[in-house]
Amino acid sequence: MSENKIFLHSCCGPCTMYPLEALRQEGFAVQGYFYNPNIHPYREFKARLDSYRQMAAVQDLPVQVEEDYGLAVFLEELQDKDLGVYQAKSAERCQTCYRLRLEKAAQACRQAGLKVFSTTLLVSPYQQHEMIKEAGRQAAAAAGVTFLYRDFRPGFRQGQQKARALNLYMQGYCGCVFSEYERYGSKA
């Protein structure tokens, strides 16, 4: 029975809109999963989590949520890494960020008894797409599940429009404090 089920890691509510629709059109029964220790500060994390739950209720999406604020975990993972403090994207920082989230998602997928997982990170034209694809494949191999790769990017605008129509909270930056500074501080 689990063959057509998929475990979908979500970065936020708005970015879930299009991948959810596309996967359902493919015939998948989607199980949502929220794990994002990269979102700071806490009020931003809470706003995105609330928005995710709002989206899930409207879309009738069953979800599993890791609701602990993950700042300490995130910073611990970044020890000895090049933080790229004043850069929007940093190879080492973002690679670590993707790996952290997708490793946990792959493990949670297996623990949930599902065999296939994917991520809404693949919808954003602002993310490092190839890096996400590779992190997903490695996480899947380590956990003994399959990573379903799809290029959801062509549906990004459509998904964002639908999210606005639902009045979901729309974030202004990627998630970590480094991306927050790049978005607001560096233009001050």
Footprint on this chain of ligand SF4 (rule: CB under 6 A): 38, 89, 93-94, 97, 174-176, 178-179
Q: Tell me whether residue 70 or residue 175 sits nearer to ligand SF4 (CB atom).
A: 175
Q: Tell me whether residue 93 or residue 104 sits nearer to ligand SF4 (CB atom).
A: 93
Shortest approach of ligand SF4 to residue 27 CB, angstroms? 30
Shortest approach of ligand SF4 to residue 84 CB, angstroms? 8
> What does the alpha-carbon distance between residue 73 and residue 69 come to, in Å, rounded to a whole number?
9
Q: Tell me whether residue 11 or residue 55 sits nearer to ligand SF4 (CB atom).
A: 11
> What does the alpha-carbon distance between residue 132 and residue 98 come to, in Å, rounded to a whole number?
6
Q: Tell me whether residue 31 or residue 119 sits nearer to ligand SF4 (CB atom).
A: 119
> What does the alpha-carbon distance between residue 165 and residue 57 come to, in Å, rounded to a whole number?
15
> How does 19-29 read in b/e, with b if 16+ C-beta sit within 10 Å?
bbbbbeeeebe
Shortest approach of ligand SF4 to residue 93 CB, angstroms? 4
Q: And the tokens for 28?
A: 């998948």
